[in-house]
């Protein structure tokens, strides 16, 4: 391990340890908080270990036309800012990252914004943003000689972990909450050969069980409590900054579940600023589902300084999390960047997802909280007409096809949930129609929707 370049710093008490000294559950033995990766050489201006921002911008752009395997990864293309491996030759990659940044003209017009974009992390190899973190942390596991890796998951982490473990010839153990994950994700864990346990508890319960298992058995924990996950997940911040020619957007809007992703993106932008590669931080806002909103409640109650876990309920199963592990890190990101944390209703999530779909941008429900949250921020006057906004879409639409079909069939929401937005929902619904096998029948179906469908 490249311990001369990186160390782990406890987010709570500031204790510093070597990379290979972390406890199996990645909790600080002094105070119980989580660690983050730190690169001591970066702080010495003029020091030989401090990356040269100007040179890196040039090098990273050059790598876009390189034929090296590692340069085809949108994570390892930025490897100078994640020197966590002894040898980059040990990196396990599926060519993650390099995700598209889509303009959203319809949503922008509806909201009166000039510049609205979606950074679609669902376009990663296993269909979610988790791939960027998994390539980093699983590579560390491989380099340290582990045979088994494990995670608790609402589905996407397990899909990513199982795929990367399979590529590395390693074995993976998945704990998922029984009956509460989308089928697409469960099928991926099976496809990639994981041992998948459907545990009779929720996500928070799964993580608790797994934390005890890794203390007993030589299994490497790959949840986002593992600080190396966040090193990979910070790289979309680099991609976003690069896409805007290093003039960062005004707002980045991220869904919040276990709160690793918002923490990681915040770290990415912070590091770019510390290295002088960008001149300011974007405001980073975290959006949760109303029924799984511990951080939003914490911001309302005490400005994000203390968090009460909740029992989580939302159809956006990816973010059905009541006791988020990385809440302190995420809270600091929101506060330091001047962003907000809010929650949105099930109806708002469903509408936002359908609206994105109508722009040709499919996403899973957890991703759509970002557009729902943006609407609130615009209505409250926190996001202005001239602002540039990037929504981080975290998962692919095919992860949870049941949700989409139920919405369009009018079976997703309860009457009470749909009532406040009934007209909007009706206008967006596109249920399939059954017709006879004749041109006449299809033309009649076409006639029936003319004028009704915008």
| By the rule CB under 6 A, 282 interacts with ligand F0G | no
The verdict on 404 binding ligand F0G (CB under 6 A) reads no
Query: Beta 341-344 vs 283-289: how paired, if at all?
Result: parallel
Give whichever of 82 and 162 is closer to ligand F0G, judged by the CB atom. Answer: 162
One of 172, 211, 224, 235 touching ligand F0G (CB under 6 A): 224
The answer to whether the CB of 124 falls within 8 A of the CB of 109 is no
By CB under 6 A, residue 318 contacts ligand F0G: yes
Neighbours of 333 (CB within 10 A): 28
- Is 349 one of the binding residues for ligand F0G (CB under 6 A)? no
By the rule CB under 6 A, 261 interacts with ligand F0G: yes
Tell me the closest approach of the beta carbon of residue 369 to ligand F0G, in angstroms. Answer: 8
Assess 153 for contact with ligand F0G (CB under 6 A): yes
In 3-state terms, the chain is what percent helix, strand and coil (to 5)?
A: 45, 15, 40
The values of phi and psi at residue 319, to 5°, are -115, 30
φ, ψ (nearest 5 deg) of residue 328: -65, -40
Considering only the stretches 35-43, 254-262, 275-283, 307-315, report the one whose residues sit in contact with ligand F0G under the rule CB under 6 A.
254-262
Write the burial class of residue 421 (CB in 10 Å: 0-12 exposed, 13-18 middle, 19+ buried): middle
- Near ligand F0G by CB under 6 A, which window of 50-58, 111-119, 257-265, 272-280? 257-265
Q: Which is nearer to ligand F0G, 5 or 333 (CB)?
A: 333
User: Which structure tokens are listed for 251?
Assistant: 């707002």
CB of 270 to ligand F0G, least distance (A): 17
* For ligand F0G, the closer CB: 51 or 304: 304
Least Å distance between CB 397 and ligand F0G? 11
Binding residues with ligand F0G: total (CB under 6 A): 22
Residue of 382, 429, 369, 380 lying closest to 118 (CA atoms): 369
**Minimum distance, C-beta of residue 259 to ligand F0G, in the bound complex (Å):** 4
CA distance 454 to 452: 6
260 lies in the binding site for ligand F0G (CB under 6 A): yes
d(CA 168, CA 136): 12
Region from 44-52, 102-110, 186-194, 255-263 binding ligand F0G, contact rule CB under 6 A: 255-263
Shortest distance, CB of residue 261 to ligand F0G, whole angstroms? 3
Give me the least distance between CB of 146 and ligand F0G, in Å please: 20
Determine the distance from the C-alpha atom of residue 290 to the mean position of all C-alpha atoms in its chain, rounded to a whole number: 18
Q: Encode 182-215: b = buried (16+ Cβ within 10 Å), e = exposed.
A: bebbbebbeebebebbebeebbbbbbeebbebbe
Compute the distance between CA of residue 75 and CA of residue 205 in angstroms, rounded to an integer: 31
Residues ≥6 apart with Cβ < 8 Å to 352: 344, 368, 369, 370, 371, 372, 375
Residue 256 binds ligand F0G, judged by CB under 6 A: yes
Question: Whose Cβ is closer to ligand F0G: residue 128's or residue 337's?
Answer: 128
Minimum distance from residue 174 beta carbon to ligand F0G (Å): 9
Q: Is 4 exposed, middle or buried (0-12, 13-18, 19+ CB in 10 A)?
A: exposed
Least distance between ligand F0G and beta carbon 319 (Å):
5
Candidate segments 61-69, 78-86, 256-264, 427-435, binder of ligand F0G by CB under 6 A: 256-264
Residue 136 lies near ligand F0G (rule: CB under 6 A): no
Which of 19, 51, 97, 155 is in the footprint of ligand F0G by CB under 6 A? 155
Whose Cβ is closer to ligand F0G: residue 51's or residue 373's? 373
CA dist 384 and 150 (Å) reads 43
- Least distance (Å) between residue 218 CB and ligand F0G: 22
Q: Report the alpha-carbon distance of residue 213 to residue 221 in Å, rounded.
A: 10
Restricted to residues 357-396, the positions that interact with ligand F0G (CB under 6 A) are 364, 366-367, 394-395
Kindly list the distances between the CA atom of residue 198 and the CA atoms of 134, 173, 181, 206, 211, in Å, as whole numbers in the listed order: 21, 11, 10, 9, 16
With binding defined as CB under 6 A, does residue 397 bind ligand F0G?
A: no
311: left (phi over 0), alpha (psi -120 to 50) or beta: beta
**By C-beta, is 211 or 224 nearer to ligand F0G?**
224
Looking at the Cβ atoms of 290 and 364, the one nearer to ligand F0G is 364
Which residue, 155 or 373, has its beta carbon nearer to ligand F0G?
155
Interaction residues for ligand F0G, span 110-129 (CB under 6 A)? 128
Q: What is the rounded distance in angstroms from the CA atom of residue 361 to the CA atom of residue 6?
A: 38
Q: Which residue has the tokens 């006791």?
A: 323
**Binding flag, residue 294, ligand F0G (CB under 6 A):** no
Considering only CA atoms, which of 75, 81, 71 is closest in space to residue 50?
Answer: 81
What's the min distance (Å) between Cβ of 427 and ligand F0G?
26
Q: Which residues bind ligand F0G (CB under 6 A)?
A: 128, 130, 153-157, 224, 255-261, 318-319, 364, 366-367, 394-395
């Amino acid at each position: 391990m490249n311990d001369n370049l990186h160390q782990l710093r406890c987010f709570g008490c500031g204790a510093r340890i070597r990379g290979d000294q972390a406890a199996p559950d990645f909790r600080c033995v002094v105070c119980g908080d989580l660690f983050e990766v730190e690169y001591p050489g970066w702080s010495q201006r003029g020091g030989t270990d401090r990356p040269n921002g100007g040179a890196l911008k040039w090098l990273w752009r050059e790598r876009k036309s390189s034929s090296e395997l590692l340069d085809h990864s949108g994570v390892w293309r930025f490897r100078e800012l994640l020197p966590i491996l002894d040898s980059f030759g040990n990196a396990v990659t599926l060519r993650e990252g390099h995700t598209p940044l889509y303009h959203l003209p319809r949503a922008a017009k509806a909201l009166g914004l000039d510049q609205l974009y979606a950074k679609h992390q669902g376009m990663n190899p296993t269909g979610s943003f988790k791939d960027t973190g998994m390539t980093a942390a699983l590579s560390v596991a491989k380099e340290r000689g582990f045979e088994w890796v494990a995670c608790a998951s609402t589905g996407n982490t397990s899909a990513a972990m199982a795929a990367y473990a399979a590529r590395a010839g390693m074995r993976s153990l998945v704990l998922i909450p029984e009956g509460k994950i989308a089928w697409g994700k469960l099928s991926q864990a099976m496809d990639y050969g994981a041992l998948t346990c459907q545990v009779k508890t929720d996500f928070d319960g799964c993580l608790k069980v797994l934390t005890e298992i890794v203390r007993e058995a030589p299994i490497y924990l790959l949840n986002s409590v593992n600080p190396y996950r966040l090193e990979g997940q910070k790289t979309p911040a680099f991609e976003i900054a690069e896409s805007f020619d290093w003039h960062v957007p005004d707002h980045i809007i991220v869904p919040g579940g276990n709160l690793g992703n918002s923490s990681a993106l915040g770290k990415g932008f912070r590091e770019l600023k510390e290295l002088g590669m960008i001149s300011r931080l974007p405001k980073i806002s975290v959006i949760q589902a109303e029924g799984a909103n511990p951080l939003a409640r914490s911001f309302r109650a005490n400005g994000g300084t203390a968090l009460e876990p909740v029992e989580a309920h939302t159809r956006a199963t990816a973010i059905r999390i009541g006791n988020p592990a990385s809440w302190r890190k995420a809270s600091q990101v929101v506060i330091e960047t001047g962003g907000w944390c809010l929650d949105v209703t099930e109806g708002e999530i469903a509408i936002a997802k359908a609206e994105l779909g109508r722009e040709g941008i499919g996403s899973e429900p957890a991703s759509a909280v970002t557009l729902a949250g943006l609407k609130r921020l615009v209505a409250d006057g926190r996001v202005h007409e001239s602002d540039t906004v990037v929504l981080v879409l975290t998962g692919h639409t095919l992860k949870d096809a049941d949700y989409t079909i139920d919405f369009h069939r009018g079976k997703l929401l309860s009457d009470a949930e749909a009532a406040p937005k009934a007209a909007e929902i009706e206008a967006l619904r596109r249920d399939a129609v059954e017709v006879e096998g004749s041109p006449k029948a299809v033309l009649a179906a076409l006639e029936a929707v003319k004028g009704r469908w915008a």
